[in-house]
Amino acid sequence: DAIKLGLNPPVRDSGDLKNSPGLTIIGPQGRVVIPEGVICAARHIHMTPDDAAHYQVKDKQLVSVEVEGERGALFHHVLIRVHENFQLELHVDTDEGNAVMLKTGDKVALVK
C-alpha cells in the first residue's frame, strides 16, 4: 500500500507508532487526518505464551524463519510477539511474501 500511495514509511516493530509520520486521506466525502501511525511493520510472529514455551522463545526475541518451496528463503530478524490473545501467525510485508510465493496458511520453520 505504501508504494502505491507514494509513501516511504519507516520500518518499525508492530505497534511502535510513537513519533511516526502521519497521513491525510482526502476523498469525495471529506478527509481523514491521521497524526501519526504510518509505518511498515517489521516482520514478526504472533504467538501465545503456550506457543512460546513450546518453541522455547521469548517475547521480543529475534529469530529466523525458513520458507520452503520453489522460491524458498530464510527471513532473518523476525521479532517474536507473545500475548495470550494472539494466534500463531507469521506477519511479513506483502512484497516479502510475494517474493517467496507465501500464502495464508502455509507452514514455515522457526530457526533460532
pLDDT tens for residues 75-100? 999 999 999 999 999 999 989 999 99
Helix (H) or strand (E) holding 62: strand 62-67
Domain with CATH 2.40.40.20 in the chain: 43-112
In this prediction, residue 4 carries a pLDDT of: 84
Which parts of the chain register pLDDT below 50?
A: none
In this prediction, residue 56 carries a pLDDT of: 98
What DSSP state is assigned to residue 74?
Answer: E
Question: Taking a C-beta distance cutoff of 8 angstroms, is the pair 40, 2 a contact?
Answer: yes
What DSSP state is assigned to residue 17?
Answer: -
Q: Which architecture does CATH list for 43-112?
A: Beta Barrel (2.40)
Which among 82, 76, 37 has a CA at the least distance from the CA of 57?
A: 82
In this prediction, residue 59 carries a pLDDT of: 97
